Amino acid sequence: MRVPRGVIYLLIVAVALTLLPLAVIALARTSTSSKPRIHIVPDMDSQESFKAQQGSTLFSDGRAARLAPAGTVARGQLKEDDHYYRGKIADAYATEFPKQVQVTEELLLRGKNRFQVFCAPCHGRAGYGDGMVARHADALAEGTWTQPADFHTDAIRQRPVGEIFDILTNGVRNMPAHGRQIKVHDRWAIVAYAKALQLSQEVDVESLPAEFRQGLR
């Protein structure tokens, strides 16, 4: 029995049509476009996004950017160690450096570097409260300037390292908080260097090695 030519043509067209979806899929995987792809089952894969400071009618306050819920903690930022992150032990200022901080020459050099960037402009390179910012403020004599602390007074020398760390982190009086600008370990390095500065001005010459004493004399 001979198959009619029309049926043959119909079968050819049917087979070609079955290959068409595969061709469309292959084309979609390799083509690019500025328009979103057709997504039959979106499953929330593509959602509306907002630019910074853009408004939104979805929320009553009209803001698209939302604050994190109270108590939200970023991954890896729980910061349970009060000694290392807040300079305190049982709500009292720590008198020793935390175990994560080993006072070495490398730490002191890092502290010196950070001190000269963040602290010296007000406190001076030697810590006497006579930095360039303080000098200019004194020259203006506007009456609203609070003199930076002199690290070499008895009151400041007696401050525990934890209190200095807390002040550096959260600020005091006119001094701004540096907690967001300086990493935790670098803040401890600054504290170590500040203590070294204090020691350098009060050290007993007889306690120094002989080669250093000779040079000083």
- The per-residue pLDDT for range 166-176, each reduced to its tens digit, is 999 999 888 89
Judged by average pLDDT, the poorest of 95-109, 182-196, 199-213 is 199-213
Contact (CB, 8 A) for 50 and 64: yes
- Residue indicated by tokens 């020691």: 199
Q: Count the Cβ atoms, other than its own, within 10 Å of residue 127.
A: 24
Burial of 18 per CB tally in 10 Å (0-12, 13-18, 19+): exposed
- Model pTM score: 0.68
> Quick one: DSSP state of residue 164?
H
- The per-residue pLDDT for range 73-112, each reduced to its tens digit, is 888 888 999 999 999 999 999 999 999 999 999 999 999 9
The contacts of residue 163 (CB under 8 Å, 6+ apart) are 87, 93
SS3 state at 55: strand
- The per-residue pLDDT for range 117-171, each reduced to its tens digit, is 999 999 999 999 999 988 888 787 766 778 889 999 999 999 999 999 999 999 9
The contacts of residue 178 (CB under 8 Å, 6+ apart) are 118, 168, 169, 171, 187
